Chain A
C-alpha cells in the first residue's frame, strides 16, 4: 500500500479564498483523522471519522472549517474563507479499529495564507 496520500503538498493562497485539502487513507482502515501542526500549538486533532461518519469535531477551530468523508477512500478538509492564522501543516492519518492500534500519517499539506 502507498500509505496515506495527501494533496496538495504545498498550498499558497490569499486571505479570503477557499482552500480544499484532500486525503486518501490506507485501504481497509476504518478511522481517519485530520490534524493541524504549528510551532505554537504543536499537533492538534481537528476531527476524526469512523466508517465515514464524523465522531468528534470538537477540535475544529471555527465554522470556517468543514470536513467530509463521502466514502471510505476519500476525505476533504475545507477552509472558507481562509485567514493568515490558518497557516500550518495539515496532516491526515488513518488507522484500523482504533483500540490499541497506531495511526499512519500522510506527508502533510503545508498551507500558507497571505
Chain B
C-alpha cells in the first residue's frame, strides 16, 4: 500500500535556527514527490515537485531533496513567517491522478 509518513509532527524553532523536516514514503513507482505549505484556514500552496533521487529544489530559505525512500525539506535561518504546516505528497506511477498526502509537520518559528 502506498504510504507517506512525515516527522516530526510538530517543530518549534527560534528565528535563525536551521532544521529539516522528513518525509518517508512507500510507493509502487514514484512519479513525483510534492511539498506544500498550508497556513491556518487556507488551502495547501504548492512549493516543489521532485521527480528522481538526487534531485534538489530551492526557494528562498527552503530546499527540498529526494532519495529513493525519503525527502527532506531543509529550512535555513527560518523567520516567523515560515510558520505553517508543511505537507508532503507522492504521486504513484500506477495512478497518474492521485496524490497521497502525509499528515504534515507543523512548524512554529519564534522571534
Say yes or no: A55 contacts B97, CB within 8 Å: yes
Bin chain B's interface residue count: 20 to 34
Q: Mark A96-114, 1 if CB is under 8 A from B, else 0.
A: 0011111111111000000
> What are 8 residue pairs bridging A and B, where the CB atoms are less than 8 Å apart in the complex?
A31-B97, A43-B87, A56-B95, A98-B96, A98-B97, A100-B51, A101-B49, A103-B46
- A100-B32, A100-B49, A100-B51 in contact; A45/B43 too (CB < 8 A)? no
Q: What are the 6 A-B residue pairs with the smallest beta carbon separation, nearest first? A: A105-B43, A102-B46, A43-B101, A42-B103, A48-B97, A105-B44
Say yes or no: A45 contacts B99, CB within 8 Å: yes
Say yes or no: B104 contacts A99, CB within 8 Å: no
CB-CB under 8 A from A4, the residues of chain B are 43
* Minimum C-beta distance from B11 to chain A (A): 17
Q: Which residues of A contact B (CB under 8 A)?
A: 4, 31, 33, 42-45, 48, 50, 55-56, 91, 93, 98-108
Q: Which residues of B contact A (CB under 8 A)?
A: 31-32, 34, 41-46, 49, 51, 87, 89, 91, 95-104
Which interface residue of B34, B89, B98, B103 has the most chain A CB atoms within 10 A?
Answer: B98
